[in-house]
């Protein structure tokens, strides 16, 4: 018999590979109320653990296989990774259970001929499961290769970070990417904080205060989405750095606001609330199905004063009016979210950074043309790469008049009464006025933002 947790983990990992889906989305869909809490926990651990540590797992498996793991049939590779992850990382799982259920997984996948191979490889691997992986590395391996294997990241990515950040910061970043992220949530009505927290605690959750925002908190011990507080729109799940981005716009009542790349919609609600009943908020995206999903989310949150528009924001925008506030949360590589979305590290290729940059430049150019005099624009990404961040902003502002990047004291104006005590805004901005968060610091994802004004 195969446990429900391992069945779910196998199927999610298979779909991640075959459908190029995100594991977090698939897990959210699979782990409904009928799944026991302990099974949901183990399934999540297996999926995210295998994705984070895939390169190291394959390196260790290849010592037994004598050939690249990527040349295996996918069901066989997944069963081996799931088994080895349990042997290496989950001390409370008996080795016998890890091996036997992996064998059953390949049988269920109609790969019975590979059952003997899976059994033999994992039994040999269990004998050296406590041997540090570093013992198996070639002594002359280059630094980027060595760190890439031990911390399970692509070598090209490690090379970039070593060149820009140095070894100490790179190792810290790699470590942060391999830790489970904090389950951060947004509190939509700070005035009801105590009542909402009490309801969540009655539902069995443990609550911790935010590291950046007074309106943020972290939950553990269960799923917030199963609570009445979530169903009635009092809270949402959202990384704390992501929650901070729309606040940089400092939206005022009566403002006309454009959220140009709005899907999946997490940054739009604070814009709607700040603009008030007399303001106008337009949330745009190029994909109709994503706009439909946003509409359902806004229903849960009770947001009605928002206009959803389908458009290609990389082309000239079809608006006659100018906007007082514009958010360009641009599509990007996502290298600031590798803990939350570990599959990105295996999909992203270095040449794609140039493709993202071209799109980001087009988006920012279109947005700047619709910014009203005296208005404020925030350009943001969840990327750690300068090509997608500072260099995009510098290129957009080079050779044009009437626009300037706002200095950090003014850029932080919308945050000053919203930060938790002890979190000074200077920690969030560099000397050039760019907003930065780094994985591992403040327990948030890696985000970048620039605040631009029009004179």
Enzyme catalytic residues: 382
Number of helical (H) and strand (E) elements in the chain, helices listed first: 18, 12
End-to-end Cα spacing for the chain = 68
* DSSP E strand stretches across 300-370: 307-310, 323-329
In which residue are the tokens 């590798």 written? 338
Contact by Cβ (8 Å): 143, 166: no
Give the count of alpha carbons within 13 A of 36, CB side only: 7
3-state secondary structure of 206: strand
3-state secondary structure of 123: helix
Token output for 247: 């606040």
Paired strand residues for 309: 284
CB burial class (10 A; 0-12, 13-18, 19+) of residue 74? middle
Token output for 70: 């990527």
- Backbone φ and ψ for 20, nearest 5 degrees, come out as 55, 35
Contact by Cβ (8 Å): 366, 317: yes
Task: Note the helical H segments in 151-252.
Answer: 155-177, 193-202, 228-231, 240-244
Cβ-Cβ contacts under 8 Å for 73 (sequence gap 6 or more): 111, 114
3-state secondary structure of 81: helix
Buried b or exposed e, range 274-293, using 16+ CB within 10 angstroms: bbeeebbbbbbbeeeebbee
Task: Say how far apart CA 186 and CA 266 lie, in whole Å.
Answer: 10
Among the listed residues 53, 48, 57, 43, the one whose alpha carbon sits nearest the alpha carbon of residue 22: 48
Contact by Cβ (8 Å): 279, 303: no
Cβ-Cβ contacts under 8 Å for 291 (sequence gap 6 or more): 263, 283, 285, 308, 310
């Amino acid at each position: 018999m195969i446990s429900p947790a391992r069945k779910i983990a196998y199927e999610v990992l298979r779909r991640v590979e075959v459908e190029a889906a995100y594991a977090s989305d698939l897990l959210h869909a699979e782990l409904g109320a009928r799944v026991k809490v302990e099974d949901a926990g183990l399934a999540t651990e297996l999926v995210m653990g295998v994705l984070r540590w895939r390169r190291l797992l394959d390196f260790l498996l290849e010592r037994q296989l004598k050939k690249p793991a990527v040349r295996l049939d996918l069901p066989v590779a997944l069963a081996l990774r799931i088994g080895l992850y349990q042997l290496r990382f989950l001390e409370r799982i008996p080795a016998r259970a890890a091996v036997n259920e992996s064998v059953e997984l390949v049988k269920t996948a109609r790969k019975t001929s590979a059952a003997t191979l899976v059994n033999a490889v994992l039994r040999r691997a269990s004998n050296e499961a406590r041997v540090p992986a570093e013992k198996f590395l070639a002594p002359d391996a280059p630094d980027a290769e060595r760190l890439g294997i031990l911390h399970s990241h692509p070598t090209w990515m490690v090379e970039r970070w070593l060149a820009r950040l140095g070894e100490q910061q790179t190792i810290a970043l790699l470590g942060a990417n391999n830790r489970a992220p904090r389950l951060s949530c947004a509190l939509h009505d700070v005035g009801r904080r105590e009542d909402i927290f009490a309801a969540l605690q009655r539902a069995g959750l443990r609550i911790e205060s935010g590291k950046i925002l007074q309106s943020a908190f972290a939950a553990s011990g269960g799923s917030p989405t199963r609570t009445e507080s979530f169903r009635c729109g009092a809270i949402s799940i959202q990384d704390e750095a992501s929650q901070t981005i729309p606040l940089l716009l400092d939206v005022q009542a009566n403002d006309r606001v454009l959220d140009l790349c709005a899907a999946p919609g997490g940054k739009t609600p604070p814009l709607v609330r700040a603009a008030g009943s007399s303001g106008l908020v337009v949330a745009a995206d190029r994909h109709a199905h994503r706009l439909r999903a946003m509409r359902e989310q806004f229903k849960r949150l009770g947001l009605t004063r928002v206009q959803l528009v389908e458009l290609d924001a990389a082309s000239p925008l079809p608006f006659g009016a100018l906007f007082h506030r514009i958010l360009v949360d641009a599509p990007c590589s996502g290298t600031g979210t590798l803990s939350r979305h570990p599959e990105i590290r295996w999909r992203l290729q270095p040449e794609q950074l140039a493709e993202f940059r071209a799109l980001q430049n087009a988006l920012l150019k279109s947005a700047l043309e619709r910014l009203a005099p005296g208005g404020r624009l925030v350009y943001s990404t969840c990327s750690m790469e300068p090509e997608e961040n500072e260099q995009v902003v510098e290129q957009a502002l080079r050779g044009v008049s009437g626009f300037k990047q706002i200095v950090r004291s003014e850029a932080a104006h919308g945050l000053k009464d919203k930060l938790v005590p002890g979190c000074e805004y200077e920690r969030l901005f560099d000397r050039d006025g760019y907003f930065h968060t780094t994985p591992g610091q403040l327990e948030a994802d890696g985000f970048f933002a620039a605040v631009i004004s029009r004179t």
